[in-house]
Amino acid sequence: MKRIVNLNFREGGATTKYLCEGMKLHPGDSVMVQTQNGLELGRVVGVPMELDDSLVSDDITQVLRLATDKEIERGKLKKEKEKEAYDLCLELIDKHGLDMNLIDAEFTFDGKKVTFYFTSDNRVDFRELVKDLVASFRARIELRQIGSRDQAKLVGGIGMCGRELCCCTFLDKFAPVTLRAARDQGMSLNPGKLNGACGRLMCCLQFEKEAYADARKRLPRTGKKIRTPQGMGVVSDVNYIAEKVTVKFTDEDSFTTEVFDWEGLEPLNRDMENKDNERGHGREKNNNNEDN
Protein backbone atom coordinates (compact mmCIF):
# COMPACT_ATOMS: atom_id res chain seq x y z
CA MET A 1 0.00 0.00 0.00
CA LYS A 2 1.12 3.55 -0.74
CA ARG A 3 -0.03 6.78 0.83
CA ILE A 4 -1.29 9.25 -1.81
CA VAL A 5 -2.44 12.85 -1.63
CA ASN A 6 -4.09 15.06 -4.27
CA LEU A 7 -2.59 18.51 -4.86
CA ASN A 8 -3.59 21.42 -7.05
CA PHE A 9 -1.46 24.37 -8.05
CA ARG A 10 -4.16 26.92 -8.83
CA GLU A 11 -7.74 27.58 -7.73
CA GLY A 12 -10.16 25.30 -9.56
CA GLY A 13 -7.29 23.68 -11.46
CA ALA A 14 -6.67 20.00 -12.09
CA THR A 15 -5.44 17.87 -9.20
CA THR A 16 -2.27 15.77 -9.32
CA LYS A 17 -1.40 12.73 -7.22
CA TYR A 18 1.76 12.70 -5.09
CA LEU A 19 3.24 10.29 -2.57
CA CYS A 20 3.16 11.50 1.02
CA GLU A 21 4.80 8.63 2.89
CA GLY A 22 5.61 9.51 6.52
CA MET A 23 3.82 12.87 6.36
CA LYS A 24 0.74 14.11 8.23
CA LEU A 25 -1.11 16.31 5.78
CA HIS A 26 -4.52 17.92 6.00
CA PRO A 27 -6.80 19.57 3.41
CA GLY A 28 -5.62 23.13 2.77
CA ASP A 29 -1.97 22.53 3.73
CA SER A 30 0.64 24.15 1.49
CA VAL A 31 3.50 21.89 0.42
CA MET A 32 6.55 22.02 -1.81
CA VAL A 33 6.95 19.50 -4.64
CA GLN A 34 9.31 18.93 -7.55
CA THR A 35 7.73 19.35 -10.99
CA GLN A 36 9.03 19.56 -14.56
CA ASN A 37 9.26 23.34 -14.03
CA GLY A 38 11.26 23.04 -10.80
CA LEU A 39 10.02 23.59 -7.27
CA GLU A 40 6.33 24.47 -7.03
CA LEU A 41 3.92 25.35 -4.25
CA GLY A 42 0.92 23.03 -4.08
CA ARG A 43 -2.20 22.89 -1.92
CA VAL A 44 -3.55 19.67 -0.41
CA VAL A 45 -7.00 18.75 -1.74
CA GLY A 46 -8.86 16.15 0.29
CA VAL A 47 -7.61 13.69 2.88
CA PRO A 48 -4.56 11.50 2.06
CA MET A 49 -5.53 7.92 1.17
CA GLU A 50 -3.98 4.47 1.04
CA LEU A 51 -3.90 2.86 -2.41
CA ASP A 52 -2.74 -0.56 -3.54
CA ASP A 53 0.65 -0.53 -5.28
CA SER A 54 -0.96 -1.74 -8.52
CA LEU A 55 -3.09 1.42 -8.65
CA VAL A 56 -0.15 3.79 -8.25
CA SER A 57 1.92 4.82 -11.26
CA ASP A 58 5.70 4.40 -11.03
CA ASP A 59 6.32 8.03 -12.02
CA ILE A 60 4.48 9.54 -9.02
CA THR A 61 6.91 11.61 -6.93
CA GLN A 62 7.07 12.31 -3.21
CA VAL A 63 5.94 15.53 -1.56
CA LEU A 64 9.13 17.20 -0.35
CA ARG A 65 7.92 19.08 2.74
CA LEU A 66 5.45 21.55 4.16
CA ALA A 67 5.90 25.05 2.73
CA THR A 68 7.37 27.77 4.95
CA ASP A 69 5.56 31.03 5.71
CA LYS A 70 7.97 32.81 3.37
CA GLU A 71 7.14 30.40 0.52
CA ILE A 72 3.41 30.77 1.13
CA GLU A 73 3.76 34.55 0.93
CA ARG A 74 5.78 34.18 -2.23
CA GLY A 75 2.97 32.08 -3.68
CA LYS A 76 0.50 34.90 -3.01
CA LEU A 77 2.76 37.40 -4.77
CA LYS A 78 3.07 34.96 -7.69
CA LYS A 79 -0.73 35.02 -8.16
CA GLU A 80 -0.73 38.82 -8.19
CA LYS A 81 2.03 38.86 -10.81
CA GLU A 82 0.08 36.37 -12.94
CA LYS A 83 -2.97 38.66 -12.88
CA GLU A 84 -0.80 41.61 -13.95
CA ALA A 85 0.84 39.53 -16.68
CA TYR A 86 -2.55 38.43 -18.00
CA ASP A 87 -3.87 42.01 -18.18
CA LEU A 88 -0.70 43.30 -19.87
CA CYS A 89 -0.73 40.47 -22.42
CA LEU A 90 -4.36 41.28 -23.29
CA GLU A 91 -3.36 44.90 -23.99
CA LEU A 92 -0.44 43.80 -26.18
CA ILE A 93 -2.62 41.32 -28.11
CA ASP A 94 -5.03 44.16 -28.85
CA LYS A 95 -2.14 46.45 -29.79
CA HIS A 96 -0.78 43.97 -32.35
CA GLY A 97 -4.26 43.02 -33.60
CA LEU A 98 -3.71 39.31 -33.08
CA ASP A 99 -6.51 36.77 -33.59
CA MET A 100 -6.08 34.86 -30.33
CA ASN A 101 -8.07 34.31 -27.16
CA LEU A 102 -5.88 34.56 -24.05
CA ILE A 103 -6.87 31.99 -21.42
CA ASP A 104 -4.37 32.27 -18.61
CA ALA A 105 -0.88 33.36 -17.52
CA GLU A 106 1.31 31.23 -15.27
CA PHE A 107 4.66 32.00 -13.59
CA THR A 108 7.02 29.33 -12.38
CA PHE A 109 7.64 29.55 -8.65
CA ASP A 110 11.14 30.98 -9.18
CA GLY A 111 9.74 33.67 -11.53
CA LYS A 112 12.14 32.82 -14.36
CA LYS A 113 9.50 31.71 -16.84
CA VAL A 114 5.99 32.89 -17.80
CA THR A 115 3.63 30.73 -19.83
CA PHE A 116 0.65 32.27 -21.62
CA TYR A 117 -2.11 29.90 -22.70
CA PHE A 118 -4.34 30.86 -25.61
CA THR A 119 -6.77 29.43 -28.15
CA SER A 120 -7.12 30.38 -31.79
CA ASP A 121 -8.75 28.96 -34.90
CA ASN A 122 -5.84 30.13 -37.03
CA ARG A 123 -2.06 30.11 -36.99
CA VAL A 124 -0.79 33.17 -35.08
CA ASP A 125 2.44 35.07 -35.71
CA PHE A 126 3.21 36.33 -32.21
CA ARG A 127 6.92 37.14 -32.60
CA GLU A 128 6.43 40.86 -31.93
CA LEU A 129 4.21 40.04 -28.96
CA VAL A 130 6.94 37.85 -27.46
CA LYS A 131 9.49 40.66 -27.83
CA ASP A 132 7.22 43.05 -25.90
CA LEU A 133 6.57 40.46 -23.20
CA VAL A 134 10.29 39.72 -22.76
CA ALA A 135 11.00 43.44 -22.41
CA SER A 136 8.24 43.77 -19.81
CA PHE A 137 9.02 40.76 -17.60
CA ARG A 138 12.72 40.07 -18.17
CA ALA A 139 11.89 36.36 -18.06
CA ARG A 140 11.63 33.42 -20.41
CA ILE A 141 8.32 33.64 -22.32
CA GLU A 142 6.30 30.73 -23.68
CA LEU A 143 3.05 31.12 -25.61
CA ARG A 144 1.20 27.80 -25.70
CA GLN A 145 -1.77 27.23 -27.99
CA ILE A 146 -4.26 24.79 -26.46
CA GLY A 147 -7.48 23.09 -27.56
CA SER A 148 -10.98 23.57 -26.21
CA ARG A 149 -10.70 20.58 -23.86
CA ASP A 150 -7.42 21.83 -22.43
CA GLN A 151 -9.08 25.21 -21.95
CA ALA A 152 -11.89 23.67 -19.90
CA LYS A 153 -9.33 21.74 -17.85
CA LEU A 154 -7.33 24.90 -17.20
CA VAL A 155 -10.26 27.19 -16.41
CA GLY A 156 -12.48 24.67 -14.61
CA GLY A 157 -16.23 24.76 -14.12
CA ILE A 158 -19.35 22.79 -13.26
CA GLY A 159 -20.83 20.16 -15.57
CA MET A 160 -24.51 19.56 -16.28
CA CYS A 161 -24.39 16.81 -13.64
CA GLY A 162 -23.82 19.50 -11.01
CA ARG A 163 -20.30 18.35 -10.16
CA GLU A 164 -16.90 19.82 -10.99
CA LEU A 165 -15.68 19.00 -14.49
CA CYS A 166 -13.99 15.61 -14.78
CA CYS A 167 -11.13 17.11 -16.81
CA CYS A 168 -10.06 19.37 -13.96
CA THR A 169 -10.48 16.82 -11.16
CA PHE A 170 -9.19 13.37 -12.12
CA LEU A 171 -8.71 12.96 -15.88
CA ASP A 172 -5.01 12.75 -16.76
CA LYS A 173 -5.51 12.54 -20.52
CA PHE A 174 -8.35 12.86 -22.99
CA ALA A 175 -9.68 9.76 -24.73
CA PRO A 176 -11.35 10.16 -28.14
CA VAL A 177 -15.15 10.33 -27.87
CA THR A 178 -17.42 9.60 -30.84
CA LEU A 179 -21.15 9.76 -31.49
CA ARG A 180 -21.22 5.97 -31.51
CA ALA A 181 -20.81 6.01 -27.72
CA ALA A 182 -23.96 8.13 -27.47
CA ARG A 183 -25.86 5.89 -29.90
CA ASP A 184 -24.87 2.74 -28.02
CA GLN A 185 -26.21 4.30 -24.81
CA GLY A 186 -29.52 5.19 -26.44
CA MET A 187 -29.04 8.92 -25.97
CA SER A 188 -30.67 11.64 -28.01
CA LEU A 189 -28.21 13.01 -30.57
CA ASN A 190 -28.78 16.57 -29.39
CA PRO A 191 -25.55 18.64 -29.19
CA GLY A 192 -26.99 20.63 -26.29
CA LYS A 193 -27.20 17.45 -24.22
CA LEU A 194 -24.08 15.67 -25.48
CA ASN A 195 -21.52 18.50 -25.47
CA GLY A 196 -19.62 19.50 -22.36
CA ALA A 197 -18.39 22.91 -21.23
CA CYS A 198 -15.64 22.74 -23.87
CA GLY A 199 -18.17 22.39 -26.69
CA ARG A 200 -16.93 18.88 -27.51
CA LEU A 201 -18.61 15.54 -26.77
CA MET A 202 -18.61 14.88 -23.01
CA CYS A 203 -15.73 12.74 -21.75
CA CYS A 204 -18.12 10.87 -19.45
CA LEU A 205 -19.69 9.17 -22.48
CA GLN A 206 -16.62 6.92 -22.37
CA PHE A 207 -16.99 5.96 -18.69
CA GLU A 208 -19.83 3.45 -19.14
CA LYS A 209 -18.95 2.37 -22.67
CA GLU A 210 -17.83 -1.12 -21.61
CA ALA A 211 -20.87 -1.62 -19.38
CA TYR A 212 -23.21 -0.75 -22.25
CA ALA A 213 -21.28 -2.98 -24.66
CA ASP A 214 -21.65 -5.90 -22.24
CA ALA A 215 -25.37 -5.22 -21.72
CA ARG A 216 -25.99 -5.01 -25.49
CA LYS A 217 -24.46 -8.47 -25.91
CA ARG A 218 -26.71 -10.01 -23.26
CA LEU A 219 -30.01 -8.15 -23.72
CA PRO A 220 -32.25 -8.54 -26.78
CA ARG A 221 -32.42 -5.81 -29.36
CA THR A 222 -35.53 -3.82 -30.21
CA GLY A 223 -37.81 -5.73 -32.58
CA LYS A 224 -36.76 -9.21 -31.46
CA LYS A 225 -39.39 -11.81 -30.48
CA ILE A 226 -38.91 -13.15 -26.96
CA ARG A 227 -40.71 -15.46 -24.55
CA THR A 228 -42.32 -14.10 -21.36
CA PRO A 229 -44.61 -15.56 -18.66
CA GLN A 230 -47.46 -13.88 -20.56
CA GLY A 231 -46.54 -15.48 -23.87
CA MET A 232 -44.54 -14.44 -26.91
CA GLY A 233 -43.98 -10.73 -27.51
CA VAL A 234 -41.78 -8.26 -29.37
CA VAL A 235 -39.19 -6.05 -27.64
CA SER A 236 -40.18 -2.41 -28.10
CA ASP A 237 -37.64 -0.77 -25.78
CA VAL A 238 -34.53 -1.70 -23.77
CA ASN A 239 -33.21 -0.01 -20.61
CA TYR A 240 -29.56 -1.07 -20.51
CA ILE A 241 -28.84 0.53 -17.14
CA ALA A 242 -31.73 -1.09 -15.25
CA GLU A 243 -31.56 -4.15 -17.55
CA LYS A 244 -35.29 -4.04 -18.20
CA VAL A 245 -37.09 -4.72 -21.47
CA THR A 246 -40.45 -3.38 -22.60
CA VAL A 247 -42.38 -6.07 -24.47
CA LYS A 248 -45.27 -5.43 -26.85
CA PHE A 249 -48.11 -7.96 -27.06
CA THR A 250 -50.42 -7.76 -30.08
CA ASP A 251 -54.00 -9.01 -29.86
CA GLU A 252 -55.95 -8.64 -33.11
CA ASP A 253 -56.36 -4.84 -33.58
CA SER A 254 -54.99 -3.78 -30.17
CA PHE A 255 -51.76 -4.11 -28.29
CA THR A 256 -50.43 -3.82 -24.73
CA THR A 257 -46.93 -3.34 -23.32
CA GLU A 258 -45.31 -4.72 -20.20
CA VAL A 259 -41.92 -4.07 -18.58
CA PHE A 260 -39.88 -7.08 -17.43
CA ASP A 261 -36.55 -7.59 -15.65
CA TRP A 262 -34.28 -9.35 -18.12
CA GLU A 263 -32.87 -11.46 -15.28
CA GLY A 264 -36.23 -13.23 -15.04
CA LEU A 265 -36.68 -13.62 -18.80
CA GLU A 266 -33.16 -14.71 -19.67
CA PRO A 267 -33.54 -18.40 -18.62
CA LEU A 268 -36.73 -18.74 -20.70
CA ASN A 269 -35.13 -17.24 -23.77
CA ARG A 270 -31.85 -19.07 -23.29
CA ASP A 271 -33.71 -22.38 -23.55
CA MET A 272 -35.58 -21.13 -26.62
CA GLU A 273 -32.36 -19.94 -28.23
CA ASN A 274 -30.68 -23.30 -27.55
CA LYS A 275 -33.62 -25.13 -29.19
CA ASP A 276 -33.46 -22.78 -32.18
CA ASN A 277 -29.76 -23.48 -32.49
CA GLU A 278 -30.40 -27.25 -32.32
CA ARG A 279 -33.05 -26.99 -35.04
CA GLY A 280 -30.63 -24.96 -37.14
CA HIS A 281 -27.89 -27.55 -36.73
CA GLY A 282 -30.39 -30.32 -37.56
CA ARG A 283 -31.47 -28.62 -40.77
CA GLU A 284 -27.85 -28.03 -41.72
CA LYS A 285 -27.04 -31.71 -41.12
CA ASN A 286 -29.98 -32.87 -43.25
CA ASN A 287 -28.97 -30.54 -46.06
CA ASN A 288 -25.45 -31.95 -45.97
CA ASN A 289 -26.80 -35.52 -46.14
CA GLU A 290 -28.99 -34.62 -49.12
CA ASP A 291 -26.00 -33.09 -50.91
CA ASN A 292 -24.05 -36.30 -50.36
Q: What is the pLDDT of residues 125-156, one digit of tens each?
A: 889 999 999 999 988 999 999 888 888 877 77
Q: Are residues 11 and 55 in the same domain?
A: yes
Distance CA 4, CA 16 (A): 10
Other Cβ atoms within 10 Å of 210 Cβ, number: 9
Nearest to 206 by CA among 188, 182, 225: 182
Domain count, the chain: 4
Is the residue at 97 inside a domain?
Answer: yes
Residue-wise pLDDT for 57-75, tens only, equals 888 899 999 999 999 999 9
Q: Are residues 182 and 124 in the same domain?
A: no
Is the residue at 213 inside a domain?
Answer: no
Q: Are residues 195 and 247 in the same domain?
A: no
Is the residue at 214 inside a domain?
Answer: no
What CATH number should be reported for the domain holding residue 126?
Answer: 3.30.300.20
Mean pLDDT of 285-291: 52
Residue-wise pLDDT for 176-216, tens only, equals 888 888 887 777 788 878 888 888 888 888 887 888 888 88
Is the residue at 98 inside a domain?
Answer: yes
Q: What is the pTM of this model?
A: 0.67
Is the residue at 192 inside a domain?
Answer: yes
Domain boundary among 22, 52, 67: 67
Other Cβ atoms within 10 Å of 41 Cβ, number: 18
Is the residue at 211 inside a domain?
Answer: no
Is the residue at 212 inside a domain?
Answer: no
Domain range for 93 is: 74-146
Is the residue at 18 inside a domain?
Answer: yes
Mean pLDDT of 208-229: 87
Q: Are residues 133 and 156 in the same domain?
A: no
20: buried, middle or exposed (CB in 10 Å: 19+, 13-18, 0-12)? buried
